[in-house]
Structure 1
Amino acid sequence: MLDGFVPWPPELAERYRSAGYWKGVALGQLVAESARRHPDKIAAVDATRRVTYTQLLDEADRIAAGLAGLGVGSGDRVMLHLPNVIEFLTTMVGLFRLGAVPVMALPGHRRDEITQLAIASGAVGYVGPDRFQGFDFRVLAREVQTDAPHLKHVVIVGDAAEFTALADLAKSEIRDLPPVDAADVALLLLSGGTTGVPKLIPRTHDDYAYNMFACAEVVEFAEDSVYLAANPVPHNAALGCPGALGALVVGGKAVLAGNPSPELVFPLITNEGVTHTALVPALALLWAETAHTSPVDMTGMVIQVGSSKFSATAVDRVRTSLGCRLMNVYGIGEGLITSTRLSDPIELVYTCEGRPICPEDEIRVVDAEGNDVPTGVTGELLTRGPYTIRGYFAAPEVNRRSFTADGFYRSGDLARLTDDGNLVIEGRLKDIIHHLGEKVSAEEVESHVLTHSQIRDTAVVGVPDEQRDERLCVFVVQAADTGAPPTLRAIREHIRGRGLASYKLPDELIVVPDLPRTPVGKVDKNALRARLTQPQGS
């Protein structure tokens, strides 16, 4: 068992196994079983190549052998920092087959985030591209190795420079692979936490396999289905809900899009026969708008929509323009997934986030004292179940705050339950902003903005924005005697230079003489949001 992993209590683990939720089969083995059933079927497609199940598994096993030759073994963590390319899938499956643990870094992460991830996970390896979207990831790898000397192995897709080329590992002789216990940690997802320090979510082979199979059943994804990963595949939704990995486990086809722009994905939908995908509301609306001038047939296609509220107006626009079937989803990397069903009346899609996907999902809605509130009353959402973690990886202090004594995860989300058992998400206790399809910690951005020499104080808030999910707005109090106030461009360049991901850069700057405070002295972010949302001239 991986040090730093918090397991389920033995009696619960046995219950989940007896009920058939946990099948005792590791993820790499599940992909191998799909390859045995469908050896010549196309398993995955990206911008440059198509691979059958036999080819995908062969490449994965050779990469596993090559990594083993470098000294990577069972339980070792390896950061997977690749965009939506087939090498992401083959490397991930190779790590599963080896018993090593991929750490799901996002393509937009830069030096600051990757260094923190390397240290927090204790990663011994890093896999990234040579260049992507004009950025040289080899430079990043050199910088991270300076701050995380335990990061011994750097593997690069493309021109590896002084590092190891993934293409060379993929030529390794296949060797016998070690047995992998399905109860062990399979991967580390990233949590959209309330601070800049990453919280790592340990998902086991057993629980994540159930996560994928249950999601596939709810969305009616089968062996003849095709999943489009429009968003970065390291995200939980695009990876395992059912996602690209779920497609491989079920025996369907995974299509990896380089980005979610309609210009790129519309031809993929048509040419590859896409049947399922997941989008945030802002992206679904962009697709709907583009479809008026670039028609695409999505009749019958299932689109899962999540991460922020999906209004009745938005639902109507998307259905009318795209002709698709919509499902409203609430999901957290820590586990719990709720979803409307395809048989539900459309009104449920824009009024609630649906019902849990598992009969054993336990949900509580509690007040500030931890007492359960009546149905229909808003409180904090707590949950536990066969695919909801019992603790973050190697984070005992965080776990004491984030989990109850009896193992319920404190989501930080405000929710209420309806009489018919549907979940309605009302907001967040955590200071997280949904921006450009990502979760951004306001505190993290604030910490970087405060390093600017002209800024004395700052607060970052999000306000609803149809194009961005939420607009990321930064209020700043200028330091005395520093001349003209800083511009938005200057602040963006400053924090970008500190290695922050581009999706965390603010959209709007407001210079204020001081920040409003609550009676206990905390920044009153509700007052700041009200200032941004009130009508002009009021």
Structure 2
Amino acid sequence: MTTARTPHRSAAPPGPWTSNNGLTIRDLVPAADRRAWVAAGHCPDRDLYSLFAAHVRRHPRREAVIDRAGSLDYRTLDRWVRHIAGRLRDAGLDHRDIIAVRLPNGRAAVAAELAVAALGAVALPYPAGPGTRDTLSLLRRSRARGAVLADPADIGLAPHLPDLRAVCAFGPGRPGVHSLCAQSRPLRPRPVDPEAPARILVSSGTESEPKMAAYSHNAVAGGRANYLRALHPGPGPMRNLLLVPLGSSYGSCGSYVTVAALGGTLILQDSHDPATTWDTLTRHRPTHVFAVPTLLRRLAEHPARPGEDVTGLHALVSSCTGLPETTAAACRERFRRPVIAVYGSTDGVNCHTAATGLGPGTGTGRPDPAVTGIRVLDARGRELPPGRTGEICARGPMTPLGYVADPGLDRRLRTPAGWVRTGDRGHLDERGRLHLEGRLAQIIDRGGYSISPAQLDRELGTHPAVAEAVCVPVPDPELGQRVCACVRQVPGGPRLTLADITAYLEDRRGLERRKLPELLLHLTEMPLTPTGKICHRTLTTLATTHHKTRHQR
């Protein structure tokens, strides 16, 4: 947490922010709250490039980014950042432009994001990968004026985007594409309003098109940075190994937080291969590993080899989806380090177990006021007392300004006082710890009985023979839906039957019989999304097809 100080300027912008292409972003949090967070020291009241430049002056030789090409120190990275910013300027881009960044994990992606901040523009990073539908949707709705792209398929979409003024790429120039490697006069950055938008976080969520939430410089360098600070109470800078895409919501703790806000070292790799990750751990000695549970489980299960060394590693950090107890136990056994579970989302909620640990009854930890406050509300918007289940709502220094190009989402997911409605069910206990109970909308309806798949996933995750488990609905002509447990077992054990699983859930975990899975699908590997999370949509298709085929036989 930062120390309290008097802000040097008003923490509230004079009005809504409008891009050069006419896109308006409004701050839905009352200005008085923003000012109070600055006064309390929860937000630095400085823009991201200014914070980065201060680290360049203080420790120019510290490693800023490490990838498979080697390392870049802060001074070298800053020279490259200002050169890229100059190229963006030469391409006709300026402050108050929205610039998309779609690059694989590596130094170029970090430098491009920081260059957008140096220009005073707003970064719209999103994960690299196959497909062009999200590119068209995001750039069209955000009215992005520029884009830094790696995929030729994406670059070819420019004629379909009338607001797009400049497409940029690393490498040699080509018709219609500005090369970021060409000669340019480095940009001399100027300060930017800390309450102006800095980055747009993208999440597919359950919407038909990706959601876009706009975060200010203060929200990123304040609330989101405070979340990382709480993970590292020890001396010395953080050295964070990020095993998620920089363009994802979870990956937002990379360029703008680890490097610009905290002055740490960001370690990246463009592979999810466990052997590669263990080599990275031994060679570069990160203090923290950030990953989704599936990847952490693979690391824990990877056979040990001579020379492995996790010296300097403080903790493993898991987010994006629930952390099964068996996965946490396997990681503690393999790494001999704490495992921290994070409850967070693109929409602006965060709570983690860095202080409480993963012991019985700790839930997802206690909310940190330097990050975000949390309330639990009933269906009529009234705050519920401890122990009562309702919708989890959040507001604090990391709360985004609002959703981009979607006033309907603003009305549906933000209260008049600026609180974010997460769509998650949960409760706060008497000690102020948050307990997550699943999504409001993700309910399986079995013959009129509402079943929470999140609860089943959590309970199945305690079975010692289960490595990963996800319960999904399968259509049924009689009951509407039935529950299918999709299970990947711990290697080497006897194959579980449906009777084994239901007996465990009923006899050992105390679940009501009506909630028990009726179908079982064994998998040797879980399907993943581009961000490394388990793909529920693919699992639902697999389970439906599997059981339909078996029924036809």
TM over 0.5: yes
2:180 pairs with 1:180 = no
What's the CA shift for 1:432?
11
Contact 2:92 2:166 in 1 (8 A): no
Instruction: Tell me the equivalent position of 2:428.
Output: 417
1:383-408 deviation line (CA, Å, top 9, x unaligned)? 11122125212322221111112221
Tell me, which stretches of 5 or more residues in structure 1 are unaligned?
130-136, 434-460, 478-500, 514-527
Give, in whole Å, the separation in 2 of the partners of 1:84 and 1:345. 30
Flag the 1:468–1:392 CA change in 2: closer, same or farther, 3 A. Answer: farther
Give, in whole Å, the separation in 2 of the partners of 1:175 and 1:511. 54
Give, in whole Å, the separation in 1 of the partners of 2:176 and 2:279. 36
1:479-527 deviation line (CA, Å, top 9, x unaligned)? xxxxxxxxxxxxxxxxxxxxxx9968724646989xxxxxxxxxxxxxx
Instruction: Tell me the equivalent position of 2:518.
Output: none
2:282 pairs with 1:270 = yes
Flag the 1:475–1:117 CA change in 2: closer, same or farther, 3 A. Answer: farther
Letter in 2 for 1:230: L
What's the CA shift for 1:150?
1.7
1:426-456 deviation line (CA, Å, top 9, x unaligned)? 10124599xxxxxxxxxxxxxxxxxxxxxxx
Give, in whole Å, the separation in 1 of the partners of 2:543 and 2:304. 40
**What is the RMSD computed on CA atoms of the aligned residues?**
3.2
Give, in whole Å, the separation in 1 of the partners of 2:249 and 2:431. 27
2:404 corresponds to which of 393, 396, 400: 393
What's the CA shift for 1:246?
2.3
Instruction: Tell me the equivalent position of 2:291.
Output: 279
2:394 corresponds to which of 364, 383, 404: 383
What's the CA shift for 1:216?
2.9
Letter in 2 for 1:38: H
Q: Which moved more, 1:172-181 or 1:332-341?
A: 172-181
Give, in whole Å, the separation in 1 of the partners of 2:64 and 2:469. 32
Flag the 1:471–1:117 CA change in 2: closer, same or farther, 3 A. Answer: farther
Flag the 1:159–1:82 CA change in 2: closer, same or farther, 3 A. Answer: same
Instruction: Tell me the equivalent position of 2:141.
Output: 120
Give, in whole Å, the separation in 1 of the partners of 2:419 and 2:32. 16
Instruction: Tell me the equivalent position of 2:128.
Output: 107
Give, in whole Å, the separation in 2 of the partners of 1:282 and 1:307. 10
2:170 corresponds to which of 157, 180, 185: 157
Flag the 1:331–1:166 CA change in 2: closer, same or farther, 3 A. Answer: farther
Give, in whole Å, the separation in 2 of the partners of 1:118 and 1:476. 39
Letter in 2 for 1:423: L
% identical aligned pairs:
25
Flag the 1:187–1:346 CA change in 2: closer, same or farther, 3 A. Answer: closer
Letter in 2 for 1:288: A
Flag the 1:322–1:185 CA change in 2: closer, same or farther, 3 A. Answer: same
Flag the 1:223–1:65 CA change in 2: closer, same or farther, 3 A. Answer: farther
Give, in whole Å, the separation in 2 of the partners of 1:192 and 1:326. 27
2:226 corresponds to which of 214, 217, 237: 214
Contact 1:353 1:423 in 2 (8 A): yes
Q: 3-state SS of the aligned residue for 2:402?
A: coil
What's the CA shift for 1:18?
1.5
Q: 3-state SS of the aligned residue for 1:149?
A: coil
1:226-274 deviation line (CA, Å, top 9, x unaligned)? 111111112232332xx34322132221111112321211111111111
Flag the 1:394–1:167 CA change in 2: closer, same or farther, 3 A. Answer: closer
What's the CA shift for 1:164?
3.2
2:241 pairs with 1:228 = yes
2:112 pairs with 1:97 = no
Q: 3-state SS of the aligned residue for 1:347?
A: coil
Contact 2:294 2:534 in 1 (8 A): no
2:309 pairs with 1:315 = no
Flag the 1:345–1:93 CA change in 2: closer, same or farther, 3 A. Answer: closer
Flag the 1:414–1:12 CA change in 2: closer, same or farther, 3 A. Answer: same
Instruction: Tell me the equivalent position of 1:331.
Output: 344
What's the CA shift for 1:107?
1.2
The correspondence of residues 232-247 of structure 1 with structure 2, limited to 5 A, is 232-240=245-253, 243-247=254-258
Give, in whole Å, the separation in 2 of the partners of 1:32 and 1:467. 44
Give, in whole Å, the separation in 2 of the partners of 1:210 and 1:307. 21
Letter in 1 for 2:206: T
Q: 3-state SS of the aligned residue for 1:168?
A: coil
2:172 pairs with 1:138 = no
Letter in 2 for 1:363: I
Instruction: Tell me the equivalent position of 1:341.
Output: 354
Tell me, which stretches of 5 or more residues in structure 2 are unaligned?
1-15, 19-23, 445-452, 478-532
The normalised TM-score by structure 1 is 0.77
Letter in 1 for 2:418: G
Contact 1:60 1:91 in 2 (8 A): yes
Give, in whole Å, the separation in 2 of the partners of 1:102 and 1:352. 34
Give, in whole Å, the separation in 2 of the partners of 1:201 and 1:469. 30
Contact 1:6 1:390 in 2 (8 A): yes
2:74 pairs with 1:53 = yes
Q: Which moved more, 1:300-309 or 1:18-27?
A: 300-309
Q: 3-state SS of the aligned residue for 2:188?
A: coil
The correspondence of residues 431-446 of structure 1 with structure 2, limited to 5 A, is 431=442
Instruction: Tell me the equivalent position of 1:489.
Output: none
| Alignment coverage as a number of residue pairs | 454
What's the CA shift for 1:294?
7.2
Contact 1:27 1:96 in 2 (8 A): yes
Contact 2:365 2:434 in 1 (8 A): yes
The normalised TM-score by structure 2 is 0.75
Contact 2:30 2:417 in 1 (8 A): no
Contact 2:223 2:372 in 1 (8 A): no
